[in-house]
Structure 1
Amino acid sequence: MKTIIIVIVIALIIIVPVTSTYNSIATLNQKVISSSSNIDTQLQRRSDLIPNLVSTVKGYAAQEKDIFTDVANARAKLSGAQGIQEKATADSELSQSLSRLLVVVERYPDLKSNQNFRDLSVALEGSENRISVARQDYNNAVNAYNTSIVKFPSNIVARIFGFTSKPYYKAAEGASEVPKVDFTK
């Protein structure tokens, strides 16, 4: 009888911490997944605003056809992106295209005074801010998760159950460069 009790106590001493650690890692993993989904939601929100913005600008700047094509292509690339790094690259390309579009706006003072354009600009700026917050939340979640799976003793549980590190959301190469806009074409 004592042997059975000792075996049960030893089993509990092993099972309870392993279960607790597994649950903690699983919770952090779900936070990473949720944060990634929030980035997708905010990117989609911005993507949904873009056709309205482009349509408004087109009426004033029909001769800037290349910029509209670039924005449309970048938007399509973002819609089809898979994985966090591909999304980051496509997001960066779209941001650069939008920057070029907004430079075009500077050439048309009547457009800047158009209420519809101003409303869309405010909505787009809000979307950019939400995307920035979503990226930061994702990277914070990844940091917490990745840290938890390398710390002892949770690293043992992580290895046993196949938890692996997650990638951070990083801007694409060249994303920090200011886009070049050439209106001499």
Structure 2
Amino acid sequence: MKNIILGAIGVVVLLVVIMIASHINNVPKLDEGVKAAWGQVDNQYKRRADLIPNLVATVKGYASHEKEVLTEVTEARAKVGQMNVSSDMLNDPNTLAQFEANQGALSSALSRLMVVVERYPELKADKNFQALQSQLEGTENRIAVARKDYIAAVKKYNIELRTVPGRWVAAIFYPEAEIKESFKATPQEQATPKVEF
């Protein structure tokens, strides 16, 4: 009887060890997946920031008296460019929120710029502007996809940290691992667009 009990305990211990061993690399793999997904988000934000000076310069030629909107776009882009983006930011919800707020302000300024563009049919017909607008629209779509992928990577990582056996593995081998923040829509992004005819 004693051998049966010891054998059963041995099997249970072996199963727990196998279960933990099969998850031992998940936390760092998923963490790297989150960083890679964030890198794609950052890459698309950079692409958008690089397009903006060309877009502003093209619009300036047609709508130079729309100085306020052009200044707003330029200032919003500058704020975005001043933030140092690193993987450490992913662990700091306040810094991530500030970064997202700056990106939201830039999106809002670009929306107002597009409203100005609607007032200038000759600008909308300009080939350079059309190419820039198309690139910017494509970039906005890429940003949305990159954010979606980032959200999915954060979800997988957070689930690993919050469920068994990943929770145990993280507690034992990766005590520095923390739940990561995902994207949240800013108040500007949640506001209903105002359409005037």
Q: Normalising to structure 1: TM-score of the pair? A: 0.85
**Per-residue displacement from partner, 1:20-66 (whole Å, max 9, x unpaired)?**
31201211111000001110000000110000000000001111111
* One-letter amino acid matched to 1:102: M
Tell me if the contact between 1:89 and 1:171 (Cα under 8 Å) persists in the aligned partners.
Answer: no
Unaligned runs of 5+ in 2: 1-6, 90-95
Show the counterpart of 2:189. Answer: 175
Corresponding position: 1:78 with 2:80: yes
Task: Label 1:178 to 1:80 Cα distance change in 2 as closer, same or farther (>3 A).
Answer: farther
Show the counterpart of 2:40. Answer: 38
* One-letter amino acid matched to 1:153: P
User: Once the two structures are aligned, what percentage of the paired residues are identical?
Assistant: 43
* One-letter amino acid matched to 2:150: Y
Secondary structure of 2:152's aligned partner:
helix
Of residues 161, 164, 169 in structure 1, which corresponds to 2:178? 164
* One-letter amino acid matched to 2:119: R
C-alpha displacement at 1:159, in angstroms? 1.9
Q: How many aligned positions are there?
A: 174
Secondary structure of 1:136's aligned partner:
helix
Q: Output the CA distance in 1 between the equivalents of 2:59 and 2:27.
A: 48
Secondary structure of 1:174's aligned partner:
helix
Tell me if the contact between 2:108 and 2:188 (Cα under 8 Å) persists in the aligned partners.
Answer: no
C-alpha displacement at 1:154, in angstroms? 1.3
RMSD (Å), alpha carbons: 2.3
Task: Label 1:73 to 1:178 Cα distance change in 2 as closer, same or farther (>3 A).
Answer: farther
Corresponding position: 1:130 with 2:132: no
Of residues 149, 158, 162 in structure 2, which corresponds to 1:146? 158
C-alpha displacement at 1:87, in angstroms? 2.2
Q: Output the CA distance in 2 between the equivalents of 1:19 and 1:30.
A: 19
C-alpha displacement at 1:17, in angstroms? 4.0
Q: Output the CA distance in 2 between the equivalents of 1:153 and 1:103.
A: 52
Show the counterpart of 1:101. Answer: 113
Task: Label 1:57 to 1:132 Cα distance change in 2 as closer, same or farther (>3 A).
Answer: same
Tell me if the contact between 1:99 and 1:179 (Cα under 8 Å) persists in the aligned partners.
Answer: no
Of residues 60, 63, 66 in structure 1, which corresponds to 2:65? 63
C-alpha displacement at 1:170, in angstroms? 1.5
Unaligned runs of 5+ in 1: 1-5
Q: Normalising to structure 2: TM-score of the pair? A: 0.80
Tell me if the contact between 2:19 and 2:165 (Cα under 8 Å) persists in the aligned partners.
Answer: no
